[in-house]
Amino acid sequence: MRFIIQRDRLVQSVQDVMKAVTSRTTIPILTGIKITTTEDGVTLTGSDSDVSIESFIPKEEAGNEIVEIKQTGSIVLQARFFSEIVKKLPTDSVEIEVLNHLQTVIRSGKSEFNLNGLDAEEYPHLPQIEENNKFHIATDLLKAMIRQTFFAVSTSETRPILTGVNWKVENGELTCIATDSHRLALRKAKIETEIHESYNVVIPGKSLNELSKIIDDSNDPIDIVITENQILFKAKHLLFFSRLLEGNYPDTSRLIPSESKTDVTVNTKEFLQAIDRASLLAREGRNNVVKLATNEGGVIEISSNTPEIGKVVEEIQSQSIDGEELKISFSAKYMMDALKALEGTDIRINFTGAMRPFVIRPLHDETILQLILPVRTY
């Protein structure tokens, strides 16, 4: 195998596939990146057996030559060394050549590295996915949906299913739900689909987070294919496979209250900043709790008290408060996470009493909601 490639394109592809490579693996060859050249271009693959990423660099794009292929073939190179070498090479073009016994030479300018490669035949095959069930969604919308739900997944392995995001596809709509049993994030969007059956799968939160770092903020469509135990995201020159979590996701629809006793409408930014300041003294105390109370004249009081540090009281003017008076305590961190995920300048919070979960939504937008369980304070 021998080819010459533009360095920046190689660096970008290496960075993408590195997101799937882990040093903690029982299969030694998976600590490497597989490089395959064909007449059409170069394909890089990284995998940790949960997530696999394949990045393709075409021979030419828009009339510009990116790769010059001298000889086709394949090799697996140690990911950690290869990625560091490529980043630091001196010139804009790189030549990679595999000699006998898998010896691989990397040349750029006056610099030359020799790396011991591994036999690509031993690299595990990526899952073969039949693409008859696929739907697509704009890339920037997918990124937004991941950002608005992923943070609420559980980080504890006691209930592994909650470390994933529940995706439901039915009637041309995709619903993403994440919960760690103290809070819940939900986002819906219409999708274009050729499938008429419904899906209910759970994707590891970690996989979605890595995916969102790789895909760009464009409105190009990304194809999504779901099978029994894998999901495949197909972007322009990128394939991203992730295994699905096994088990049934809890039915979260029962958690979301349908009626409310107190409704508050408030400016998102003002509210977020007030919670942020109130949490400054709460951070040290028990799980950083702040209190919220509704007062006369649409005033909301936000306070926090940590006896050994001090206390803080904030007042902000809401746009409206309807319903019963309310005093409630909750985690400042959960509230700030939720507010950062919501898009829109004003939000509406529906409370159903001091000990019941409450729901936060942007005003005039039904596609997204955040739910938080309050904290008991005595």
- What number is the average pLDDT over the span 65-81? 97
- What number is the average pLDDT over the span 111-136? 91
Per-residue confidence (pLDDT) for residue 198, from 0 to 100: 87
DSSP H stretches of helix in 261-320? 268-278
Domain-ending residue, one of 253, 273, 288: 253
Whether 179 and 80 share a structural domain: no
Per-residue confidence (pLDDT) for residue 287, from 0 to 100: 65
Using 50, 70 and 90 to split pLDDT, how confident is the model at 192?
Answer: confident
DSSP string, 27-94: SGGGGEEEEEE-SSEEEEEEE-SSEEEEEEEESEETTEE-EEEEE-EEEEEEHHHHHHHHHH-SSSEE
Whether 266 and 206 share a structural domain: no
Q: Is residue 377 in some structural domain?
A: no
Per-residue confidence (pLDDT) for residue 284, from 0 to 100: 60
Domain-ending residue, one of 218, 253, 288: 253
Per-residue confidence (pLDDT) for residue 131, from 0 to 100: 77
With tokens 């991203």, the residue in question is 240
Q: Is residue 103 in some structural domain?
A: yes
Whether 82 and 160 share a structural domain: no
Q: Which domain CATH number covers 51? A: 3.10.150.10
Whether 155 and 245 share a structural domain: yes
- What number is the average pLDDT over the span 337-358? 94
196: left (phi over 0), alpha (psi -120 to 50) or beta: alpha
- What number is the average pLDDT over the span 337-342? 96
Per-residue buried b or exposed e for 179-200, using 16+ beta carbons within 10 Å of the residue's own CB: bbebbbbbbbbebebebeeebe
% pLDDT > 70, the chain: 98
- What number is the average pLDDT over the span 230-241? 95
pTM of the entire predicted model? 0.93
- What number is the average pLDDT over the span 182-207? 91
Whether 232 and 260 share a structural domain: no
Q: Is residue 227 in some structural domain?
A: yes
Domain-ending residue, one of 101, 122, 143: 122
Per-residue confidence (pLDDT) for residue 53, from 0 to 100: 97
Whether 185 and 112 share a structural domain: no
Per-residue confidence (pLDDT) for residue 378, from 0 to 100: 56
Q: Is residue 378 in some structural domain?
A: no
Whether 28 and 83 share a structural domain: yes
Q: Is residue 172 in some structural domain?
A: yes
Per-residue pLDDT of 317-326, as tens digits, reads 999 999 999 9
Q: Which domain CATH number covers 368? A: 3.70.10.10
Q: How many domains does the chain have?
A: 3
What mean pLDDT, rounded, does the chain reach? 94
- Is pLDDT at 163 greater than 60 in this prediction? yes
Whether 114 and 44 share a structural domain: yes
- Is pLDDT at 330 greater than 90 in this prediction? yes
Whether 140 and 227 share a structural domain: yes
Per-residue confidence (pLDDT) for residue 210, from 0 to 100: 96
Whether 274 and 314 share a structural domain: yes
Per-residue confidence (pLDDT) for residue 205, from 0 to 100: 97
Domain that holds residue 248: 134-253
Q: Take residue 260 and report the two structure tokens written for it.
A: 């409310």
Whether 73 and 146 share a structural domain: no
Whether 74 and 19 share a structural domain: yes
- What number is the average pLDDT over the span 213-224? 92
With tokens 């394939």, the residue in question is 239
Using 50, 70 and 90 to split pLDDT, how confident is the model at 24?
Answer: confident
Nearest by Cα to 348 from 362, 337, 358: 362
Per-residue pLDDT of 257-295, as tens digits, reads 999 999 999 999 999 999 999 998 886 655 689 999 999
Per-residue confidence (pLDDT) for residue 144, from 0 to 100: 96
- What number is the average pLDDT over the span 32-37? 98
Per-residue confidence (pLDDT) for residue 285, from 0 to 100: 54
